[in-house]
Structure 1
Amino acid sequence: MRTARRHTGWIGVAAATLSTLAYPATAAEAEAGRFQKLSVYLERNMQDHDAEIRFEATGAEDGLAALKVLAPAERTVIDLKTPDSKLGLRRLTIESPEPTDDGIVRTDFPAGAYRFEGTTTKGASLRGEAQLSHVFPEPAAFEYPRPDQKDLPAAALTLRWSAPKGIEACAIVIEQTGSAYEIRALLPGSARSFTVPEGFLRAGRAYKFAIGTVAKDGNRSFIEAGFTTARAR
């Protein structure tokens, strides 16, 4: 999703790690050679009609010198190495291009179990598995503001939406057009509103916002639109 891919992380607004997307490792798990976090999921943009796949992996305390991911039928889809780094890489997020035909993504990355194999800079082996589903959640629908609505208040603005039942989370992205300012929040699946923190919005500025429904398997469907705040009087 083009809006979401420009950002680097979620702010902590009612944020809890989704247990179905990742598992935290205890010290015993790390000693047993398990990753601290693994996930693989699909993401689509309802407006642009594009889709992508994302892989996320967090190793142990030592960085990864190598990471391999095998799709169902043992086909290697990721094979990374850091041969000249003493620290390695501890956390990686890898995403595909975004073709407008999500069938291309599904064909290249079939549903099923993806096996992660890592080697740390100290030679320890890490292994884990994550499941990929091809089923997308139903998208949310904007209630307020309406797409491309103008002259909205720059203070105490609350976004509202409707969403299907049974989703795991709602992902919110708000960005100021032409600047680096952004807000990202991961809310519980029951959330239907989000009040923009005071001081973020400016008078007479254009903004883009997106709402994503996140399924229990991690797949997500985004809708996005723009709005403009009223000029200062």
Structure 2
Amino acid sequence: MNQPTINTENLPKHLAIIMDGNGRWAKQKGMLRVFGHENGTKAVRETVESCARLGIANLTLYAFSTENWNRPKMEVDTLMKLLVSSLKKELPTLQENNIKLITIGNTSQLPDSARKQLAEVTELTKTNNRMTLTLALSYGSREEIISAVKAISEKVKDNTLAAEDINESTINNHLYTHSLPDVDLVIRTSGEQRISNFLLWQIAYAEFYFTDVLWPDFREKDLHEAIISYQKRERRFGKTSEQIQ
């Protein structure tokens, strides 16, 4: 039986992935959680390259949430070191594939070494235009929305914005993701089925795909299965099937 193929005319314009299961993957192998995080970088590389080859314009990866700061210090420190080493290691891949790197989140909380490396890679890739890779780092959607509300409130207070003029575009323009389109497809690995404070505003009409595959085992075939599932769905955006047709 022939496997269904991906329709490159119907790709998600913005794919977001909650990369879950590193710790469980390591535990299954009798290793420390950090071993799972280290192996998860291989899945990141393959997924990024696969998305670029397919022609997906925007890929956002949930790399570190605001809640993740509450994890054991050793694990957080290792994750930060891994972030720095991965950015250095993956810069040639980003350049070869013409991929632009940006970040969203409260990155001021990151260690100096991580902020410095992020700034360097962001600067070196800023003119790349094949795909935008967004890393959600020290990111929480509620914090993002609170930040947007505060910024808008200041404009109303200063009389540079009228309250009655506030609309969806106003909110969008004050979010970390103001340069990105809404999310079309969210993938979450490891079998968990929740959002975990990720892009709550931006996923209003996104499709969801949950897989039991743990993130370090996620490969191109798994990505393709998710996209094929997405392409089989009818996206109605509140309308009826008859209206869409």
* TM-score, normalised via structure 2 length: 0.25
* TM-score, normalised via structure 1 length: 0.26
Q: Which has the higher helix share?
A: 2
Q: Which has the higher strand share?
A: 1
